[in-house]
Structure 1
């Protein structure tokens, strides 16, 4: 018998979908190989913009440069969002992981913690990684993946510089945490799609500005320096 998902998709659907809303379909599963891969396949089959897939566990989750992203079952949540931007210039698509980071930070602030955005695709608390983001283009669509460490105890952290909502004292349920993130994603996405200024909006929220950074251009090449802007 398949275990039920920890996230209540019916509650999210009632709260976050409907006429005029960005999100159209929300599904939650206990486990899958990769929510991004699943939605990429769905995009190729013509799935609607605003389709969301949530999983309590991924057996083949991926980060940037094809790095594995994994955690024990029910200790993290993976969220993937399929969007089909209409008329947005291709160069602006590079902003998708950045504006998603702001949405995650805003949503989790509403859920009871104080995250910061790290360029280009992480969300931190006190310098420790809480969430990673991966955006992938699929023909005329984009699939945006969000991986949040929810209930990871200290002994299960993948690296010492990681953290989880549990370790930060956040008692929000998985459903509430995901609801806050998805609710914050809609205005962030609409701002991005409208062509509004993003440079100052993001720069004011980015914890990377003013710090020493090491930028990975590929899995084997990097550049080091001080971030002075975005």
Structure 2
């Protein structure tokens, strides 16, 4: 499907000064549209928002159901940090997303690394991509989808949606929360945001099963390291540090 004509609103997105929003109709994915803009020189704090996606995707390349009425967006950020620190923004975005969703009521929790749960069901997720040029970090793309008007029925997990608010209100709350947490990270690093994630994350000692490719790991949650990696306590008493993987329910 061909994207409808895009319009750019300068100056403020979600009521937050300094952000520029590019509003689209139906697109393959906001991540693809944002990548093109970033490669063409779009400034940091540009956010691409679409009414629907025809080829939305989540983690591990899975399709992300994207009918009209939900929030689909990708933020372009240009932090002045080494490329190795780009992954920290996954945690930053997850905490901001939880902050925004919590404004509309319900029990909000975080599932490592960046899924947001509302009343026990997945309500939103984050997809992170970094763009490097000549070995230096050029931009970070943060793709976010939030179930508002509808939620997908999935065979392997519960889902939920934000109720009592429209997609515009959720989008505005999300941009404001992302700005606040991004500023905090730029100023102080991940420490305070890590604490906020842990406050909504699993209890220390909670059982976890994690897949890393074909490897299945079972253990107990032992916290989050300073760089956002997960600490998993194994049965033999050792600690396994997980930089990427998928927690199964």
Please, what TM-score do these two structures have when normalized by structure 1? 0.82
The DSSP-based 3-state class of the residue aligned with 1:216 is strand
Q: How many residues align?
A: 213
Question: Are 1:83 and 2:77 counterparts?
Answer: yes
Q: 1:14 to 1:81 in 2, by over 3 A?
A: closer
Q: Which residues in structure 2 correspond to 1:95-134 (within 5 Å)?
A: 95-134=88-127
After TM superposition, give the deviation of residue 45 of structure 1 in Å. 1.2
Unaligned runs of 5+ in 2: 133-137, 225-249
- CA distance in 1 between counterparts of 2:51 and 2:203 reads 30
After TM superposition, give the deviation of residue 11 of structure 1 in Å. 10
Provide runs of 4+ in structure 1 moved above 4 Å.
2-5, 9-12
- CA distance in 2 between counterparts of 1:14 and 1:104 reads 14
- CA distance in 2 between counterparts of 1:130 and 1:193 reads 27
Q: Which residues in structure 2 correspond to 1:130-209 (within 5 Å)?
A: 130-139=123-132, 140-152=138-150, 156-159=152-155, 160-165=157-162, 170-196=163-189, 197=191, 198-207=193-202, 209=204
After TM superposition, give the deviation of residue 200 of structure 1 in Å. 2.9
- CA distance in 2 between counterparts of 1:201 and 1:108 reads 14
Q: 1:208 to 1:141 in 2, by over 3 A?
A: farther
The DSSP-based 3-state class of the residue aligned with 1:111 is coil
Q: After superposition, what is the alpha-carbon deviation per residue over 1:3-43, rounded to whole angstroms, capped at 9, x for unaligned?
A: 899xxx689637212xxx4x2x1022221101011111211
- Which residue of the partner structure matches residue 66 of structure 1? 61
Cα RMSD (Å) of the superposition?
Answer: 2.6
Judging by fraction of residues, say which structure has more strand: 2
Judging by fraction of residues, say which structure has more helix: 1
Please, what TM-score do these two structures have when normalized by structure 2? 0.76
Q: 1:147 to 1:14 in 2, by over 3 A?
A: closer
The DSSP-based 3-state class of the residue aligned with 1:189 is helix
Q: Which has the larger radius of gyration?
A: 2
- Greater RCO (Cα-Cα under 8 Å, separation 6 or more): 1
Q: 1:225 to 1:78 in 2, by over 3 A?
A: same
